[in-house]
């Protein structure tokens, strides 16, 4: 199926879905003020009596485009739909950025596969390097063992220990001959005393130096450091995630406080004793909401001087209202 056919099919499906929705919500087919026009928009300006608007309503009331949501877009919206002018209607760049980021969202399976591939490659290289280093260390260990063996070989050679033993065990010589032979060996060894001593001390110092260099503490520190470095691997470096969440919670708390302050002020204005119209109260609340971030800085904890100075709330009058408490307050006023 070519692209044009696909688009035609999609448009047909959308029309069918829209028709089905209009069947379920027939009031959308006719504007209340202009019955010959269907509803096309949702108006986010709550000063309007009716938020459902047709094209004629938009022209007639000079409604700004940034206060409109397409009805079809609202009906067909899903989790990835971003309204251009809602809920932020005074800065379209915000909605555009949200849409941009949503489109850039990586494929979850592809993203996870890249992570697995990275760690698989890392594991293979680390294991190879560990095996290489292990072999090097084992070779060095063999060298030290060979060095320990070499001191015995040097000692056996310089001491003529084997020659002395052979002469003692030789059954072909007389005691006198043995004595002379052993004496000759000993004299020969003694004649090289200083040289032999220096050779042995040099070898001992060499072995001692190697043994003193054996250090398991440094490799242990390197191991901990490597593990620490591995923990720094992060494909999604939310370094300040806790701080971000804390800021979000603070914003929500501030919003709740702002709303609370607005409601406190509105409760004063809307008291029936003030005889304010609903339209006036509604307009005041809208304006207060615009500047709620300023009201948030105002402490409205003690609006009234005392409990006796709180005016009666005529909005909640009923047959159980305690008039004996109302009369003193009226006289107080």
Query: Does a structural domain hold residue 282?
Result: yes
Residues 6+ apart with CB under 8 A from 80: 102
Query: Does a structural domain hold residue 184?
Result: no
- pTM given for the model: 0.41
Domain residues for the domain of 91 are 3-104
Cα–Cα distance for residue pair 6/21, rounded to 1 Å: 22
Cα–Cα distance for residue pair 228/7, rounded to 1 Å: 54
Do residues 142 and 201 share a domain? yes
Do residues 215 and 120 share a domain? yes
Alpha helices in the chain (DSSP H): 3-24, 55-61, 71-75, 92-104, 108-159, 161-169, 175-191, 193-212, 217-231, 241-269, 278-290, 292-295, 323-332
Our count of domains for the chain comes to 3
Do residues 49 and 27 share a domain? yes
What pLDDT sits at residue 326?
Answer: 47
Cα–Cα distance for residue pair 122/191, rounded to 1 Å: 63
pLDDT tens for each residue of the chain, 333 residues long? 444 344 444 444 444 454 556 667 777 777 888 888 888 888 888 788 888 888 888 888 888 888 888 888 888 777 777 777 777 777 777 777 777 777 766 677 788 888 899 999 999 999 999 999 999 999 888 888 887 788 888 888 888 888 888 888 888 888 888 888 888 888 988 888 888 889 889 888 888 888 887 888 888 888 888 888 888 787 776 655 566 666 666 666 665 555 666 677 777 777 766 677 888 777 777 777 655 655 665 666 666 666 655 665 555 544 444 444 544 544 444
Cα–Cα distance for residue pair 226/271, rounded to 1 Å: 69
Do residues 26 and 72 share a domain? yes
What pLDDT sits at residue 133?
Answer: 93
Pair 85, 65: CB distance under 8 Å: yes
Do residues 221 and 289 share a domain? no
Q: What is the 3-state secondary structure (H, E, C) of 139-179?
A: HHHHHHHHHHHHHHHHHHHHHCHHHHHHHHHCCCCCHHHHH
Query: Does a structural domain hold residue 183?
Result: no
Query: Does a structural domain hold residue 165?
Result: no
Pair 185, 162: CB distance under 8 Å: no
Query: Does a structural domain hold residue 261?
Result: yes
Do residues 15 and 62 share a domain? yes
Do residues 114 and 98 share a domain? no
Do residues 65 and 82 share a domain? yes
Do residues 22 and 125 share a domain? no
Do residues 140 and 65 share a domain? no
β pairing state of 52-53 and 68-70 = unpaired
- The pairs formed by 247-254 with CB atoms below 8 angstroms and a separation of 24 or more are 254/293, 254/296
Query: Does a structural domain hold residue 278?
Result: yes
Query: Does a structural domain hold residue 91?
Result: yes
- The pairs formed by 53-62 with CB atoms below 8 angstroms and a separation of 24 or more are 56/31, 57/31, 57/33, 60/33
Do residues 197 and 299 share a domain? no
Cα–Cα distance for residue pair 259/253, rounded to 1 Å: 10
């Amino acid at each position: 199926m070519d692209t044009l056919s696909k688009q035609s099919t999609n448009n047909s499906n959308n029309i069918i879905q829209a028709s089905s929705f209009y069947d379920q919500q027939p009031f959308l087919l006719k504007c209340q003020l202009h019955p010959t026009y269907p509803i096309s928009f949702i108006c986010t300006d709550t000063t309007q009596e009716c938020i459902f608007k047709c094209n004629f309503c938009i022209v007639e009331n000079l409604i700004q485009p940034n206060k409109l949501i397409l009805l079809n877009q609202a009906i067909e919206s899903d989790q990835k739909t971003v309204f251009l002018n809602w809920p932020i209607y005074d800065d379209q760049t915000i909605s555009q950025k949200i849409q941009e980021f949503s489109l850039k969202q990586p494929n979850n399976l592809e993203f996870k596969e890249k992570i697995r591939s990275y760690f698989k490659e890392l594991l293979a290289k680390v294991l190879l390097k560990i095996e290489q280093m292990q072999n090097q260390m084992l070779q060095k260990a063999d060298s030290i063992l060979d060095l320990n063996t070499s001191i015995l070989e040097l000692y056996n050679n310089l001491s003529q220990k084997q020659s002395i033993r052979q002469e003692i065990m030789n059954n072909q010589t007389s005691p006198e001959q043995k004595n002379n032979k052993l004496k000759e060996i000993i004299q020969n060894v003694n004649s090289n005393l200083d040289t032999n001593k220096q050779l042995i001390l040099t070898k001992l110092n060499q072995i001692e130096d190697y043994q003193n260099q054996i250090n398991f503490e440094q490799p242990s520190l390197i191991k901990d450091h490597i593990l620490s470095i591995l923990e720094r691997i992060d494909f999604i470096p939310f370094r300040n995630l806790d701080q971000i969440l804390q800021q979000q919670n603070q914003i929500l708390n501030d919003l709740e406080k702002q709303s609370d302050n607005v409601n406190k002020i509105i409760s004063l204005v809307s008291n029936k004793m003030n005889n304010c119209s609903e339209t006036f109260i509604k307009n005041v609340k809208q304006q207060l909401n615009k500047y709620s971030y300023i009201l948030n800085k105002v402490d409205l904890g003690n609006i009234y001087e005392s409990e006796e100075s709180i005016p009666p709330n005529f909005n909640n009058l009923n047959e159980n209202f305690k008039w004996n408490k109302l009369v003193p307050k009226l006289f107080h006023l």
